[in-house]
Structure 1
């Protein structure tokens, strides 16, 4: 089953993202960024090739403290996305330690409790330091926090459907050249690479979204 598999990418390391703060979000949104500040993906590939909307995808993990720091600002980013743009998040399973978090994300999504638990799980792990490293421990936490049936949660988390989804995510993340979290992918084409803080990451994302809405100009 999935929990016995390794999702370690050879050569991939976790990037140490900068702490958020500093820049005025309005200024960051209006800024212009140069091509050396973001990566252009050689073979563009979207998460959802059938949806005609411009897509923004966050690659994250509950095990990543930088993702925990970014959570409030990625929520703010979603509020600033213009019409015609859709936001997705996919959990990275770079290693065995992160695999249960990816499983938990899709189980929570399937059970309809993701809005209630997403930010709360970051807090439980990185601020409250709950021992949430195994799928069994996560099952207890979701049962207590969101009232889900633990057995059902575990069955979904360790199902073939979840297994296949994480395998597909892993390939997609690798194709995008993502080597750390949090990372943002715009329309399968661009990945902000050089940013000093999370305000600038958001600003560059909005710049690239606008570029795509204008047909790549």
Structure 2
């Protein structure tokens, strides 16, 4: 489903991962799920590149505040994060696929630096997509965070800092290495990437199944 040769425009990027809208029906138990390498997920070529060096099994959601499918997946991601076993950590990586998505990546890292990312993550999606609040430009994004008690000038300074520039550049290189060109995408331990997923419950179950494969491989 993905074309890894080049990144696509925002509207296409949002739709690449899912072949249909989120289904209310839940998938079968992840332990028994017949997931196939090359279909529901892809094993990435070695050497596997992780996002961090924590030593824990790593679940990374590549997302964007510009993507409505990420907004729809967010409640599922919250439940996934809570259900992960000890020794597994969940991380978010904002995708700077094009110029219009870069401000959203800047916003995430500024919010993270200021310690408000967890508090504002789901709210950002709700304001932008459910309430149709205008949050597109850097100025509008800064207004949103200011409405949540964040110092606006400090937020803008961090969002546009050389440190944030470097992080976004590093993220983009890693995302390209993983072959991610759509959101939301899950990458487990830098080794497995979600691919042809029919709905959000299946993406959650697939992630749990891949995590268990890694835990088994590590003898945990």
TM-score, length-scaled by structure 2: 0.89
* Unmatched tracts of structure 2, length 5 or more: none
Q: For 1:17-36, what aligned pairs fall within 5 Å after superposition? A: 17=18, 18-24=20-26, 27-28=29-30, 30-36=32-38
**Residue 139 of structure 1: aligned partner:** 142
- Structure 1 CA distance, aligned partners of 2:198 and 2:17? 11
Matched, 1:210 2:215: no
**Residue 163 of structure 1: aligned partner:** 165
In 1, are the aligned partners of 2:17 and 2:196 still within 8 Å (CA)?
A: no
Shift of 1:16: 5.0
**Residue 12 of structure 1: aligned partner:** 7
**Residue 75 of structure 1: aligned partner:** 78
**Residue 198 of structure 1: aligned partner:** 200
Map Cα deviations across residues 155-174 of structure 1 (whole Å, 9 max, x no partner): 00000011100000000000
TM-score, length-scaled by structure 1: 0.90
1:45 alignment partner, one of 39, 44, 49: 49
**Residue 88 of structure 1: aligned partner:** 91
In the alignment of these two chains, the number of paired residues is 207
**Residue 113 of structure 1: aligned partner:** 116
In 2, are the aligned partners of 1:21 and 1:198 still within 8 Å (CA)?
A: yes
In 2, are the aligned partners of 1:46 and 1:188 still within 8 Å (CA)?
A: yes
Question: Could you say what secondary structure the match of 2:89 adopts?
Answer: strand
- Structure 2 CA distance, aligned partners of 1:216 and 1:190? 15
In 2, are the aligned partners of 1:32 and 1:207 still within 8 Å (CA)?
A: no
When residues 33 and 216 of structure 1 are mapped into structure 2, their CA distance, relative to the original with a 3 A threshold, is: farther
Shift of 1:24: 2.8
